[in-house]
Amino acid sequence: MLKNLMLAAAVFAAVSCSTVPITGRSQLNLVSDQEMNAMAAQEYQKVLQSSRLSADAAQTAMVRRVGQRIQQAVEQYFRQNNASAQLEGYQWEFNLIQEDQQNAWCMPGGKVAVYTGILPVTQDEAGLAVVMGHEVAHAVAKHSNERMSQQMATQGLGGVLSTAVGQNPSATQNVFLQAVGVGSQLGLLKYGRNQESEADHLGLIFMAMAGYNPDAAVAFWQRMAAQEQGGNIEFLSTHPSSSTRIADIQRDLPEARKYYTAR
C-alpha cells in the first residue's frame, strides 16, 4: 500500500512539473495552458471593456511595435529550441490603457496591457522594451500557472481549472486574478524572488533578440529606484528596484548582449 502511494506521488510530481525556459528551473504546474489561456482571454476582454484605451495614436503604435518585436523574439527563441509547442494557443494582443498608474502586465496567452503612467519612466522604445520583455517573460515562464497551481492546491480547489470554476467560480476567479496580478486583485499576491529574477533574465534576452540594447535595463531600473525612493512607484508594487536587482541584471548583461544586433 505504502509502495503504491509513493509511486502515485512520484507520478503526480512528474506530470505536475514543468521547466522554465532558459533558466531550467522546475516549477509546479497543475493547470493546463489551454485552461489558463482561455480564462486569460476572457478576463483580458473584461479589463479592456472597463478601461479607457489611449487615444494617442503615436504612443499606441509604439506599444504595439515594441510588443510585436518582443513577440517575434519569443517565437524565434522557442522555435530555435524546438519548443514552439509551448506557445500553442497564444493570441497576442498589445494595448495601451489611459491611466496614470505606473503599471504593465502580460496575461497567459500573450495578452499585454501597458498603462500610460509608466511611459514617462520608460522614456523611449528601449525602456518600454525592458518593461514589456519583463512582463512577457512572466507569461512564457508560466509564472501565473505556477502561482495558480500553488493557490488552488492551498485552497483545495483541485488541479483541473474547469472543475474548480464549476465548483466555486467566484473563488477560482479571484485566485486567477491574484495569479496574474491584475484587476481588483492587483498586487495582492507578489511574484517570488525566483520569478522576478527569471523575468529579468528572460526579459533581457527577449529585448536583445528584438533589437533593443539590453543595457537600457540598468538605466530603467535606476529610474524606477528613484521613483521608489520618492514614494511614487506603482509598478504592481512587486517589482523591487533594488541594488540587488540592478546588480543581477548587470551580471546577466554579457549573456544578453550575445543576442543583440541593433536594428
Point out the residues that are catalytic: 135
Between CA 251 and CA 56 the distance in angstroms is 37
By residue count, the chain amounts to 263
Between CA 124 and CA 216 the distance in angstroms is 10
Q: What is the dihedral of CA 59, 61, 67, 72, to 10 degrees?
A: -150
Do the strands 17-19 and 26-28 form a parallel or antiparallel pair, or are they unpaired? antiparallel
Q: Give how far the C-alpha of residue 229 lies from the chain's centroid of Cα atoms, to the nearest Å.
A: 25
Q: CA neighbours within 13 Å on the CB side: how many for 87?
A: 22
Between CA 202 and CA 215 the distance in angstroms is 14
| Residue for grid cell 536587482 | 245
Contact 114, 59 (CB under 8 A): no
